Amino acid sequence: METTKKPSLNVLPLKERMKVPRQHMLEQPPLLRATNFTEVNLGYSEELARQEALRCLECAKPACTNDCPVGVKVKDFVQLIVAGDFLGAAAKIREDNVLPAITGRVCPQEDHCEGGCLMGKKVQPLGIGYLERFVADYEQRHLDISNLPKATPTGKKVAIVGSGPSGLTAAGDLVQKGHQVHVFEALHTPGGVLVYGIPEFRLPKQIIREQIDYMKAMGVEFETDVVVGKTVTLDELLEEEGYDAVFIGTGAGLPQFMNIPGEHLNGVYSANEFLTRINLMHSYEFPKYDEPMLDLHGKNVAVIGGGNTALDAIRSALRLGASKAYVIYRRSEAEMPARKEEVKHAQQEGIEFRVLTNPIEFLSDGKGWLNAVRCMRMELGEADASGRRRPVAVEGSEFDLPLSVAVIAIGTGANPLIQSTTPGLKTNKRNYIEADVMTQRTSRRGVFAGGDIVTGSATVILAMGAGRRAAKSIHEYLTSGAW
Amino acid sequence: MFKILNAEFLAPGIKRFVIEAPRIAHKQKPGQFVILRLYEQGERIPITIESSDPERGTIGIVVQSIGKTTNMLNSLNSGDDILNVVGPLGKPSEIEKFGTVVVMGGGVGTAMTYPTARALKGVGNRVITIVGARNKELVILERELREVSDVLMITTDDGSYADKGFVTDKLRQLIENGTRIDLVLAIGPIPMMRAVAEMTRKERIRTIVSLNPIMIDGTGMCGGCRVLVDGKSEFACVDGPEFDAHRVDFSVLVQRNSMYRTAEQKSMEEFQRETVQTRECALQGGRR
């Protein structure tokens, strides 16, 4: 291992650092938080953050940065926390990540930075996510954003389609290069899945608003109520509105249903609809907000699926008063794609996990409303293409679970609005847009794409990584003109 | 913000708005709709576009006061703003030369038939328009529809204007008289569209209906507007809103549209109570 050139600011000898325990983040107690939409995690204090930062081993070849899809210089920002320069730490993160308050909350750090942390081989890894969140929140409280430095204008215009994680990241990187960046959003509020998909208790809307305000202060323009493909086509943006390049980051749009009997019954939702009603439309504040929600008080509610979206939905249902809240998942807990922290939080809150269980029919009360779900028990067979063991139905194991509301969270498909109105834009078999894995270039000159509309459902940080790669190659294209 | 340039009542509770929305005006085709939201706490509601003027950058919509949002909307006037208007959404109507087309509008659905009737006439179809209203006061767009129709038939439920009866009575007469009909387009209340579908199914006349399920985003993202078509789920916002009437499961549509009835009533009652309080307060010269 090489030695670091800069002298360390950390006075703690290396071998002592492993002895410092990982600092816990304060959380709302489970039974209290299960009744409100306030954030579960409460954040580090300055003292806790500095204490945690002391644990960093300052590896010469830091795996944390290498494993981060946007390449945050973890070691450097952690050193600035050690030195007590929290704004400096925030600025250091921002060199690579324009949404630190968001990633600090929703990133699956165990799969990226913290998963790579050397300390994790012996003890608990450095709390990188918690530290990132701390500096981002500190920056929000202390930094005056009215006079952010602006890059020299290049005279080039870039349209970003979709204001979710990939679009915002691309926008942030491009505006810092001096390009004029205009973000189009189909809904009435910018933020995409961050706004309609992720609940308040995991990512408060205020945080998203602040991050967007920061981007506006950087010079990024936002236009809501524009559905590209309907309100304006991609070709019109390039030919009539004078954009030099377009980035498509529209996300995975169409909710998938199970195609089992009874799916049209009242009380059966897609996770997208259920979460959109709650998060975007604030139906949990009905009648202060107009968009209604079925009254879940005292009702049995189940989500079908085992991803983060499924857990977001069922934990929301619990907060809306559900008396029984189930996760129905056809494989075992080990195969569940949701973050471990979210599974733990959900279990603490009293959500019941019915694993190795697969719904086969939604049953009606005879008046068009959901009354129960008929399920089969499953067992794990041979590994399938995804490497996970394939669930196989146990014959004769049918049973009915009484249920008033079911939320289907088994994934999404590609929204076709842009593909179907943009000639020459290549798509794959599943109608996702084809884009180069390194440059995010599509089959159309000047058009780039990234995030879920290319890969299918993934995570916020992977979409941000794509946005970052796209911004880099858009900048190269705009400066060289070469395709 | 989208400015209202003109607002006028066409009939009691039915108002026509001209809204500044250049992007939408530029792209709109008959059969498409917008989703609008009035204020920060407001819901998103879909409304069919009645007309558009690309040169002036305006669109027209016709709104009937039914629930809280439509009542609030109909209290707005020229010069007021609508917070969000997005569109044009949905697939446009199929416009080609079919031959003889019967365009049927029930209630406020009449306004939505207008752009399609005009477009169908424009490509050389013989357009027979049948519109129905509860009474004389609620008959709308008669002059406009007459201009784009070869034949215009009007019915009122109570016989206070034109012929007493329902639009389906007129359709039955046409069929019984042996009129050749190549296509029927019906837009109106679900029972009316359903009755038309049953009548034309027997005659094997191709029939299109425009569906109005509950919707949120209007871009295919939420799946709330799914309708059962030929036993499969389709999304009215991106696959519709127009569907082959003979393939639509109307019972499911009725059932799903009733999902929030209790909440909708609660919203409306509170809205009415607040409106009354405001009025009483104003009468007493006070402020709320």
CA–CA distance, A165 with A189 (Å, rounded to integer): 14
Report d(CA A221, CA A239) in Å as an integer.
Answer: 20
Nearest by CB to residue B219, choosing from A186, A259, A263, is: A186
Name the more confident of A27 and A183. Answer: A183
B interface test, pick of A273, A277, A370 with most B CB neighbours within 10 Å: A273
Best mutation site among A184, A193, A227 for testing chain B: the one with the most B CBs within 10 Å?
A: A227
User: What's chain A's average pLDDT?
Assistant: 94
Q: Which residues contact A78 (CB under 8 A, 6 or more apart)?
A: A53, A56, A89, A126, A128, A131
CB contact under 8 A, B87 and A281: no
State the nearest Cα–Cα gap between A390 and chain B, in angstroms.
27
Among the ranges A72-76, A285-289, A333-337, B278-282, which has the highest mean pLDDT value? A72-76
- Measured CA to CA, the distance from residue A63 to residue A65 in angstroms comes to 6
pLDDT at A4 over 70: no
φ, ψ of residue B20 in degrees (nearest 5): -75, 115
Closest approach of B150 to chain A, Cα-based (Å) = 32
> β-strands A41-43, A26-27: how paired?
antiparallel
Q: Do B43 and A290 touch (CB under 8 A)?
A: yes
User: What is the rounded average pLDDT of the residues A361-368?
Assistant: 96
What is the residue-averaged pLDDT of chain B? 93
Summarize pLDDT for A225-264 with one digit per residue, the tens: 999 999 999 999 999 999 999 999 999 878 999 999 999 9
Nearest CA in chain A to B225: A273
**pLDDT at B288 (0 to 100):** 40
Tell whether A282 is within 8 A of chain B (Cβ). Answer: yes
Residue owning tokens 């006037």 = B77
Cα A39 from Cα A454, distance rounded (Å) = 31
B267 to chain A, minimum CA–CA distance in Å? 6
Which residue in chain A is spatially nearest to B67 when comparing CA positions? A290
The pLDDT value recorded for residue A385 is: 82
Option in A188, A266, A292 nearest B37 (CB): A188
A268 to chain B: closest CA residue: B224
pLDDT > 70? residue B283: no
User: B222, B232, B253, B259: best mutation site toward chain A, by most A Cβ within 10 Å?
Assistant: B222
C-beta of residue A226 within 8 angstroms of C-beta of residue B85: no
Region A15-37: what's the mean pLDDT? 90
Nearest by CB to B23, from A226, A276, A286: name it.
A226
- The reply to whether residue B216 touches residue A273, judged by beta carbons under 8 angstroms, is yes
- The pLDDT-based confidence of A1 (bands split at 50, 70, 90) is very low
Task: Name the residue among B220, B264, B267 with its Cβ closest to that of A417.
Answer: B220
Q: Each residue of A182-223: pLDDT tens digit?
A: 999 999 999 999 999 999 999 999 999 999 999 999 999 999
Chain A residues within an 8 Å CB radius of B235: 254
Alpha-carbon dihedral sign for residues A112, A92, A40, A123: positive
Longest dimension (CA), chain B: 65
Facing B41 at nearest CB: one of A253, A254, A289: A289
Alpha carbon of B39: minimum distance to chain A alpha carbons (Å): 10
Query: Which residue type is seen at B5?
Result: L
Residue A417 contacts B where some CB pair is shorter than 8 Å: yes
**Cα–Cα distance for residue pair A265/B269, rounded to 1 Å:** 27
The answer for residues whose C-beta is within 8 angstroms of residue A48's C-beta and 6 or more apart is A23, A25, A134
Let me know: does B15 contact B63? Beta carbons within 8 Å: yes
Q: What is the pLDDT of residues A296-323, one digit of tens each?
A: 999 999 999 999 999 999 999 999 999 9
> What is the pLDDT at residue A396?
95
Please report how the helices A86-94 and A74-82 are oriented relative to each other, as an axis angle in degrees rounded to 10: 170
Indicate the pLDDT class of residue B273, thresholds 50, 70 and 90. confident
CB spacing of B221 vs A272 below 8 angstroms: yes
Token reading at B199: 């009548």
CA distance A162 to A184: 6
pLDDT at B282 over 60: no
Label residues B252-272 b or e (16+ Cβ within 10 Å = b): bbebbeebbeebbeebbeebe
Cα–Cα dist A115/A134, whole Å: 20
Average pLDDT over residues B245-249: 97
Closest CA to A198 of A463, A419, A453, A468: A463
Chain B: which residues have CB within 8 Å of chain A? 23-24, 27, 37, 41-44, 68-69, 83-89, 216-224, 226, 228, 233, 235, 238, 249, 252, 255-256, 258-260, 262-264, 266-267, 270
Total CB pairs under 8 A between chain A and B = 122
A10 touches chain B (CB under 8 A): no
In angstroms, the separation between the Cα of residue A479 and the nearest Cα of chain B is 31
Q: Report whether pLDDT(B261) > 90.
A: no
Q: Indicate whether B287 pLDDT > 60.
A: no
Chain A CA closest to residue B235: A254
**Closest to A227 (Cβ–Cβ): which among B89, B223, B267?**
B89
B61 contacts B16 by C-beta, under 8 angstroms = yes
Distance from CA of A162 to the nearest CA of B (A): 12
- Chain B residues close to A368, C-beta within 8 Å: 252, 255, 258
CB of A294 within 8 Å of a chain B CB? The answer is yes
Per-residue model confidence (pLDDT) at position B280? 63
pLDDT at A3: 46
Q: What is the mean pLDDT of residues A450-477?
A: 95
pLDDT tens digits along B87-132: 999 999 999 999 999 999 998 999 989 999 999 999 999 999 999 9
| pLDDT above 90 (res A147) | no
Is the CB of residue A187 less than 8 Å away from at least one CB of chain B? yes
Alpha carbons A229 and B284: distance in angstroms, whole number: 52
Nearest to A144 by CA among A222, A88, A206, A217: A217
Integer Cα distance of B180 and B167 in angstroms: 18
Is A292's CB within 8 Å of B41's CB? no
Contacts of A226 in chain B (CB under 8 A): 23, 86
- The partner residue sitting opposite B233, judged by closest CB among A263, A294, A295, is A263
> How much is the pLDDT for B285?
54
Answer whether A182 touches B (CB < 8 Å).
no
- pTM of the predicted model over 0.90: yes
Q: What is the mean pLDDT of residues A114-132?
A: 94
Would you give the DSSP letter of residue A222? Answer: E
Percent of the residues in chain A that have a pLDDT greater than 90, as a whole number: 85
